[in-house]
Amino acid sequence: MKKLSMIALLMTIFVVNTYSQTADEVFQNHIKAAGGQELWDKVKTYSLKQSFVSNAPSDYEMEVKASIPDLSMIKTKTIMKRGFIYAVNPTDAFYKIPTGSRDKAIVYDVKDLSDKEKANMKREVMDMFAPFYDYQSKGYIATYVGLEVVGAQRVHHIELAGKDIKYDLYFDNITNLLTKQKEKLSTGEEITKEYNTYVTSDFGIIYPSAGTYYSSIDKRNVKIASTIVFNPTFDATTFKR
């Protein structure tokens, strides 16, 4: 009996040592699986198009254009054919709300974003692409929680914490790709994204193109589809008011 107990203990230690990793190792394995460090380091701009569908009147489409070096972004959410625009650049941060009836030319009410909204958008410039990439430069702290079983998958669970946000990231133990992401915002909202399909961009980076989205505020499951173009060229006025 003692011999069997010792064998079981040794096997447990072997399994733990086999799968135990640091957060940085998990991040690097994902980057390697999704195109490699050299490609990721070459990304300076990106455009993202997403659709959020739950067969409800609040379904919307979102288009994002971002420049990483100068932390500039313009984000347009289109709901019922009306575009709501949010933008940030090195010297300005604003939003545009469409006014008037939809059968007339669109007139926008333009206002400044608050300092906190501006800071959140600057954070999103990089986080929307991959929150864990170059996380130390954003002041984030990464903690490896452990290897967990989610459904039929074994996943590496990592906590990534910043000043106004906390992520729980789950990476598949076999593919090394991100399968689930939970975001806890300073507002109290919690957002869960699960990814079930990855595709390879023309640039060579692999990214999640389909999955689900759940907000603790809206309380409904939403299908999300994404298309990303890496390193597009933007006009000089793209991020300006």
- pLDDT tens by residue, 123-173: 999 898 899 999 999 899 999 999 999 888 899 999 999 988 999 999 999
Q: pLDDT band at 34, cuts 50/70/90?
A: very high
The pLDDT > 90 percentage for the chain reads 79
Question: What does the pLDDT read at residue 100?
Answer: 79
Mean pLDDT of 29-55: 97
Question: What does the pLDDT read at residue 150?
Answer: 83
Angle at 38 between CA 32 and CA 43, to 5 degrees: 105
Question: Please, how many CA atoms are within 13 Å of residue 195, restricted to the half-sphere of its CB?
Answer: 20
Q: Does pLDDT of 117 surpass 90?
A: yes
- What structural domains does the chain harbor? 22-230 (2.50.20)
Question: What does the pLDDT read at residue 20?
Answer: 58
Q: Does pLDDT of 12 surpass 50?
A: no
- The token pair at 236 is 């000089």
Question: What does the pLDDT read at residue 106?
Answer: 83
The b/e string for 92-107 (b: 16+ C-beta within 10 A; e otherwise) is ebbbbebeeeeeeeee
Mean pLDDT of 20-44: 95
Mean pLDDT, the chain, rounded, equals 90
Q: Does pLDDT of 3 surpass 70?
A: no
Q: pLDDT band at 104, cuts 50/70/90?
A: confident
Question: What does the pLDDT read at residue 69?
Answer: 94
- pLDDT tens by residue, 168-192: 999 999 999 999 999 999 889 999 9
